Structure 1
Amino acid sequence: HDTYYVIAHFHFVLSIGAIIALFTLVSSFQENFFGKHLRENSIIILWSILFFIGVVLTFLPMHFLGFNVMPRRIPDYPDALNGWNMICSIGSAMTLFGLFIFK
């Protein structure tokens, strides 16, 4: 149980559900909280698409890395797993870009 599968499953199932629920709350009740609309609906739709694709690209390859028994907390890994890690990095950058759009 000390593989990337644990990280991917926890973040994909538990954490992302809570984060999306919080962002939905803020985007739904932004007029009640702040007295005005912070963003238009088209920007929120763009954010949600970018955020969702980024999260899937980040954590779905981690499942495959866990199935290949890539251990956690070890900075050195086989070169064969480099492609999956690159996809995870691209997804993480996409999620971060989506967060900048939301703000």
Structure 2
Amino acid sequence: MPQSEPMLESRVYARQEIGRMPLEEVPTVIPAFHPVWAKADHDLIVVCDQEAAHGNFRAWAKITHHLVTGLNKTGRTRVDEELLRRTYSKLSARQPV
């Protein structure tokens, strides 16, 4: 945490670094993370991790937010490949960590 943010630094008890989630854990962890993924196809979750999330939980949270918005706008009830690809366009370009 930068020293330029002393007020924030004084409120953080311990900084926690969370590493990348291994691909083999993604199909188990992500459906438990949010109900939108509980109904999603296993292969779609794996593809999403490989193409956009790269095991980064913050990226998964952003993708999930955009997907939920997309589901609500389109009236769909399940994540599909078309909606997922539209979601990618809402993400900033990010390389795997």
User: TM-score under structure 1 normalisation?
Assistant: 0.28
Bigger relative CO (Cα 8 Å, ≥ 6 apart): 1
- Could you say which structure has the higher helix fraction? 1
Structure whose alpha-carbon radius of gyration is higher: 1
